């Protein structure tokens, strides 16, 4: 699941370090995955920026595994940019890092973020600083386009490589790295809730009870099935030209989901699980009423 | 507080009828704060920001199955408690003493608040959050923490409970609570014996009162989420030949695809775990009540001994009076016999509360899974 518009960029990869002198060098970064919470923190930081500030920067925390960098959280770092100089509050960065690592010692610095789409000399300088922090691993740079220059809030990640005859800190190329969004089951539940809030007219959402959620999920699925069904029937009648891609997707979905739950399967499921479930349900209400009685009895001497 | 609300509502009702002469002395609740910054506006609803929701979820999940807590930051404005940010607190490691863990946590909190202030984050503590599994969150430390908050924070602060196990099943479970007055008084007086409980009619179900909760995003986050859930068409060539496999197809580009974890019919592992937790708590409760019974017997025994002693002394005195001797002084019985204090019912009340939490989760899960099974059966037979 990639973020933002697919780009035509060729993702350049440095050659795999197999030769002897480079054997202990870390494997090159081939992809970046971002958890939604990191992006949300960036957006929050951008909203709380100074009035005159054009962009904000901060540190990305996460983990590395075989060339894949996983960005798990982010925190804001103070910085000041003028036409002639850029300053990053190093003490602040250190303090925050220490505070974060006391909670989650497994998360290390993987790079930095900035808002806005442009990369300039200062980006290179800041990149140089983070490169120093993450050594020997390369630092990644994530840019979140809050100005929505290409019509959406695009997320892009870069690696840097020195360029020029004499290596200087402000001379470097940013090469793009593919970036995807990743979330866990728990986070997905939260994201669904937030999306509900985003798409509702009042911009509010309420956590619902299990039955209501279930009802909503079933209606959603039925709605999707209906849409596919109308499409398929239209194609069969010859009203619309069938798209082979959609056909492939449908075939794949139907066959990938394993054997459908047939009449027999349903009966087996009912036989094995239903009795247990009903029993547990009775037990649960029994426990609850006992607990209620017991707590009332405690009030009677 | 309820009286104030009722008063303001009563004042608002006749206003449209006689708009010419509004009662000058009645100030609407929403203005009261402008006039008097210390005015008491009752808390109506808790509003959580998206960032806080995600942070709580991440922290709870990273630490699962151990329970964690953290501090909520925000502002209460006009009866709405807006929680805009939060941060986790370090959990005391195994073997670390309570006395050393607490100061380090408060030091952590202070330095985190200072840091957040520097980047213009909210630094106003409004409560704390607690993660739980299977719905049993009532515990001594939870209540103590909230009681201390309720004393020190404006409007008493709130406690947010997040149930990780339910969220993983696709049903986000976040609840906001605060302590009831009855419990606060009992906690202040440290009276959790039978008499104290009866006086206030305190059971596990009225320790906490729930506040309604709503989720709200910043406009920027709203925009970002909507772009994420919108499928974008990839600009790859549209002339498609029938392809051999799906991997040749252009990728659909929708970062937030619906997955419907709630439609999963297999709920057995969760049930087994939950049932064993119920059994453990029942054992604890049993032990607690036998402890209580033991204490009661101890008290009764001491009392009979004390009574026997006083009776004997009285008899002796009567004898001495008859013999013409001066009576022996009536000694303080309570000093001779140590009648143990009545044991606290607090622990057993909390255990009952936990049991109720577990059983409630069980009920919810089984109810939903029965519906799912019948739905699956109906679907299969109709096909």
Q: What is the mean pLDDT of chain B?
A: 75
Please state the rounded mean pLDDT for residues A122-147.
84
User: Could you write out the three-class secondary structure of A85-143?
Assistant: CEEECHHHHHHHHHHHHHHCCCCEEEEEEEECCCCCHHHHHHHHHHHHHHCCCCCEEEE
Position A11 in a domain = no
Scanning A274-293 for CB atoms below 8 A from B yields 274, 276-278, 280-281, 283-285, 287-288, 291-292
A150 and A214 within one domain: no
**Do B267 and A277 lie within an 8 Å CB cutoff?**
yes
Tens digit of each residue's pLDDT (9 = 90 or more) over B277-329: 889 989 998 998 898 888 888 888 888 888 888 888 888 888 888 888 777 77
Centroid of chain to Cα B180: 12
Please state the rounded mean pLDDT for residues B209-225.
85
A172 by Cβ neighbours in 10 Å (0-12 / 13-18 / 19+) ranks as buried
- Interface test with chain B among A49, A194, A260, by most B beta carbons within 10 Å: A194
CATH number of B41-92+101-220: 3.40.140.10
Position A237 in a domain = yes
How far is residue B377's CA from residue A263's CA, in Å, rounded to a whole number? 8
pLDDT recorded at residue A59: 92
Predicted ipTM > 0.85:
no
Looking at the structure of chain A, the number of domains it has is 2
**Do A3 and B58 lie within an 8 Å CB cutoff?**
no
Q: Which token pair is A280? A: 């547990």
Confidence of residue B333 (pLDDT cuts 50, 70, 90): low
Position A162 in a domain = yes
pLDDT recorded at residue A171: 76
pLDDT recorded at residue B9: 47
Tens digit of each residue's pLDDT (9 = 90 or more) over B111-161: 888 888 888 777 888 888 888 877 778 888 888 888 888 878 767 788 888
Q: Residue B253 has what DSSP assignment?
A: B
Q: Does A46 touch chain B (CB under 8 A)?
A: yes
Please state the rounded mean pLDDT for residues A120-141.
84
Position A13 in a domain = no
Question: By residue range, what is the domain housing residue A234?
Answer: 209-256
pLDDT of B170 strictly over 60 = yes
Specify the CATH number for the domain of residue A174: 3.40.140.10
Confidence of residue B243 (pLDDT cuts 50, 70, 90): very low
Phi, psi of B89 (to 5 degrees): -105, 145
Least Cα distance to B232 among B258, B208, B250 occurs for: B250
Q: Do residues B231 and B255 lie in contact, with contact meaning Cβ atoms separated by under 8 Å?
A: no
Domain residue ranges in chain B: 41-92+101-220, 269-382
Tens digit of each residue's pLDDT (9 = 90 or more) over A8-40: 566 655 544 444 444 455 667 788 888 888 988
| Residues B247, B251, B254, B255, CA torsion sign | positive
pLDDT of A156 strictly over 60 = yes
A172 and A36 within one domain: yes
pLDDT recorded at residue B312: 86
pLDDT of B83 strictly over 80 = yes
Position A133 in a domain = yes
Position A166 in a domain = yes
Least Cα distance to A214 among B365, B268, B216, B61 occurs for: B365
Whole-prediction pTM? 0.78
Angstrom CA distances, A234 to A185, A228, B173, stand at 36, 10, 42
Three-class DSSP category at B254 = coil
How far is residue A268's CA from residue A147's CA, in Å, rounded to a whole number? 56
- CB pairs A-B closer than 8 Å: 308
- Interface test with chain B among A75, A198, A218, by most B beta carbons within 10 Å: A198
pLDDT recorded at residue A60: 92
């Amino acid at each position: 699941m990639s973020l933002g518009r697919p780009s035509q960029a060729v993702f350049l990869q440095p050659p795999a370090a197999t030769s002897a002198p480079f054997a202990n060098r870390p494997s090159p970064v081939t992809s970046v995955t971002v958890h939604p919470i990191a992006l949300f923190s960036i957006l929050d930081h951008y909203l709380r920026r100074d009035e005159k500030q054009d962009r904000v920067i901060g540190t990305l925390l996460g983990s590395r595994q075989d060339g894949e960098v996983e960005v798990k959280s982010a925190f804001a770092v103070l910085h000041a940019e003028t036409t002639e100089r850029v300053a990053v509050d190093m003490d602040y960065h250190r303090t925050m890092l220490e505070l974060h690592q006391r909670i989650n010692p497994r998360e290390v610095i993987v790079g930095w973020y900035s808002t806005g789409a442009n990369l300039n000399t200062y980006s290179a300088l800041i990149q140089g600083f983070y490169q120093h922090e993450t050594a020997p691993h390369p630092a990644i740079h994530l840019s979140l386009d809050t100005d929505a220059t290409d019509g959406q809030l695009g997320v892009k990640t870069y690696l840097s490589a020195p360029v020029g005859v004499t290596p200087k800190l402000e001379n470097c190329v940013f090469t793009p790295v593919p970036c995807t969004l990743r979330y866990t089951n728990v986070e997905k539940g939260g994201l669904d809730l937030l999306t509900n809030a985003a798409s509702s007219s009042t911009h509010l959402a309420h956590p619902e009870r299990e039955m209501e959620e279930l009802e909503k999920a079933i209606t959603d699925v039925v709605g999707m099935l209906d849409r596919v069904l109308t499409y398929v029937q239209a194609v069969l009648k010859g009203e619309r030209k069938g798209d082979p891609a959609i056909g492939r997707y449908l075939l794949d979905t139907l066959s990938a989901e394993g054997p459908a739950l047939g009449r027999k399967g349903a009966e087996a499921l009912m036989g094995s699980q239903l009795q247990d479930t009903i029993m547990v349900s009775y037990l649960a209400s029994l426990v609850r009423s006992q607990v209620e009685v017991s707590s009332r009895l405690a009030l009677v001497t | 507080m309820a009286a104030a609300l009722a008063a303001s509502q009563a004042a608002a009702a006749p206003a449209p009828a006689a708009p010419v002469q509004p009662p000058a002395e009645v100030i609407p609740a929403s203005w009261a704060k402008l006039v008097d910054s210390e005015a008491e506006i009752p808390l109506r609803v808790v509003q959580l920001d998206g960032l806080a929701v995600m942070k709580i979820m991440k922290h709870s999940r990273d630490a699962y199955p151990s329970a964690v807590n953290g501090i909520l930051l925000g502002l209460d404005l006009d009866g709405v408690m807006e929680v805009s940010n939060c941060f986790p607190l370090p959990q005391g490691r195994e073997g670390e003493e309570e006395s050393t863990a607490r100061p380090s946590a408060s030091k952590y909190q202070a330095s985190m608040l200072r840091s957040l202030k520097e980047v213009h984050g909210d630094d106003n503590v409004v409560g704390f959050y607690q993660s739980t599994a299977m719905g049993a969150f009532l515990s001594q430390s939870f209540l103590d923490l909230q009681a201390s908050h309720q004393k020190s924070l404006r409007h008493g602060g709130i406690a947010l409970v997040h149930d990780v196990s339910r969220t993983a099943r696709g049903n986000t479970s976040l609840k906001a609570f605060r302590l009831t007055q009855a419990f606060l008084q009992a906690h202040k007086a440290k009276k959790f014996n039978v008499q104290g409980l009866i006086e206030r009619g305190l059971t596990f179900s009225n320790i906490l009162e729930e506040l309604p909760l709503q989720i709200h995003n910043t406009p920027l986050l709203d925009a970002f989420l909507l772009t994420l859930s919108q499928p974008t068409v990839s600009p790859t060539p549209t002339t498609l030949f029938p392809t051999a496999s799906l991997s040749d197809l252009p990728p659909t580009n929708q970062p937030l695809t619906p997955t419907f974890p709630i439609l999963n019919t297999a709920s057995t592992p969760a049930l087994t775990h939950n049932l064993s937790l119920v059994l453990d708590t029942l054992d604890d409760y049993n032990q607690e009540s036998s402890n209580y019974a033991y204490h009661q017997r101890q008290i009764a025994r001491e009392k009979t001994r004390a009574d026997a002693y006083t009776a004997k002394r009285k008899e002796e005195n009567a004898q001495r009076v008859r013999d013409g001797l001066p009576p022996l002084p009536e000694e303080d019985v309570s000093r001779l016999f140590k009648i143990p204090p009545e044991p606290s019912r607090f622990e057993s009340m909390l255990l009952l509360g936990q049991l109720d939490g577990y059983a409630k989760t069980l009920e919810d899960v089984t109810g939903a899974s029965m519906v799912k099974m019948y739905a699956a059966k109906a679907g299969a037979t109709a096909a």
